[in-house]
Amino acid sequence: MTQALDECLSPKQIRRDADSLQHWGVDWTRSFPVAPSAVVFPDSTDDVVRLVQLANREGLSLVPSGGRTGLSGGAVASDGEVVVSFDRMDRVLGFEPADRLVTCQAGVVTQALQAYAAEQGLFYPVDFASSGSSQIGGNIATNAGGIKVIRYGLTRDWVAGLRVVTGSGALIDCNHGLIKNATGYDLRHLFVGSEGTLGFIVEADIRLTTPPEPQLVMVLGVNRFRDVLAVLGCFQNALTLTAFEFFSELALQKVTAHRGLARPLAGEAPFYALLEFDESAVELAAEAFEACLAEGWVQDGVLSQSQAQAANLWQLREGISESIAGYTPYKNDLAVRISQMPDFLDEVDALVQESYPDFEVCWYGHIGDGNLHLNILKPQGLAAEAFFQRCHEISPRIFERVAFRNGSISAEHGVGLLKRDFLSYSRSSEELAVMEALKQVLDPGQIMNPGKLLRR
């Protein structure tokens, strides 16, 4: 079936060996079978157009693959699909100082884009733990968020233009990098977050901004779950926050043990808030800290005295995901509006304690933008199958609380395969009907990442 690939790509652009299929046929999820039929490496937009036209003729399913750091199975090929890797389309194509725009191919690694921006004296502010592997095309396809959303927003906010090859093989050039363009539906935003189900993002015009002044990092010991939000409000009213993250004592134990890091404070606290802000706001931050102490919301705190110490404090947060990976965590990536968060936290905490009395539960996340990462850790002696089944059974009760508060069952990790069957907890039947109709218009042959985000 995939022999037809040899018609449109050269032999060096096609791999069918078992190691390659296994390597490129999966992302960071480990709960789905990996069974692509081939992996292909287009060099250019023309290659992608020809590949999509061939796939429509031959009925081949195509799975887009970038840095393969996804956590919802969005880039997993488990049913004989052809994986389309953008590893070879990794060039910065241009930079316009006057526009502060850099044009990238989809395969540019996020960290390489950040470095390129710095070389131009500018700043690309979307950042997360996987930025050393993730690619800008995948960041756009999942509207990646990360640790600085509270100040700089999400990937969507930095996309000024997109070139997309749709599922029918049409090449659409969206918005041309314009700041203003009031000429109808902004198709750019249709493809942001589409998870490769409407077409392939092949190039992007990315906005860059002025670098911030040097940053300070504070880690505070917080007494109660809901006090984390009181601390957020107190600091946000006093100064501009670059980041406001949180993690539990258990998360801290896992990351300090795994990375051999020093604890941030003399004592233990149930929760920790990690804040980042401009160094010029240090007095305002000190006053806010004193106010939080007086209110009894925090018990202790540390302020970075050097960039090295700031980096070490950040490791306590950014190292959590990798530190708990060995526990085969069942991941929830939830979001509600900040105003809903205190009650939501209490509800979900009670639900989790009641449902998983025998499991370790790791709380962490970008609580400053309403995003909570709830990871249930698999007990050593419990088989993965039984563990995931138990967690899957509880998920609907958690999602009911999310739906009650008009929240999202997937704040930033996307839907992929993992959350597809729970989509109705966050999207109405009317919305799902529109999404299906758009899929039909842009990918009539249903070749684009079939089964991801939407049912086939």
Q: Which residues bind ligand S2G (CB under 6 A)?
A: 71, 129, 320-321, 331, 373
In the bound state with ligand S2G, the residue whose beta carbon lies nearer, of 71 and 275, is 71
Q: Are 360 and 250 in contact (CB under 8 A)?
A: yes
Q: How far is the CB of 334 from ligand S2G (least distance, A)?
A: 11
Minimum gap (Å) between residue 128 Cβ and ligand S2G: 6
Report the nearest approach of ligand S2G to the CB of residue 285 (Å): 23
Minimum distance, C-beta of residue 254 to ligand S2G, in the bound complex (Å)? 12
**In the chain, what is the greatest distance between 2 CA atoms, to the nearest angstrom?**
72
Name which of 1 and 325 has its Cβ closer to ligand S2G.
Answer: 325
Task: Tell me whether residue 60 or residue 367 sits nearer to ligand S2G (CB atom).
Answer: 367
Nearer to ligand S2G, 15 or 419 (CB): 419
Torsion from C-alpha of 392, 396, 399, 401, nearest 10 degrees: -130
Residue 410, strand partner residues: 333
CB 411, min distance to ligand S2G, A: 9
Minimum CB distance to ligand S2G, residue 42 (Å) = 28
**Minimum gap (Å) between residue 193 Cβ and ligand S2G:** 15
* Closest residue to bound ligand S2G by CB: 321
Toward ligand S2G, which CB reaches closer, 5 or 320? 320
Q: Which CB sits closer to ligand S2G, 14 or 192?
A: 192
| Nearest CB to ligand S2G, comparing residues 75 and 102 | 75
**Are 398 and 334 in contact, with CB atoms under 8 Å apart?**
yes
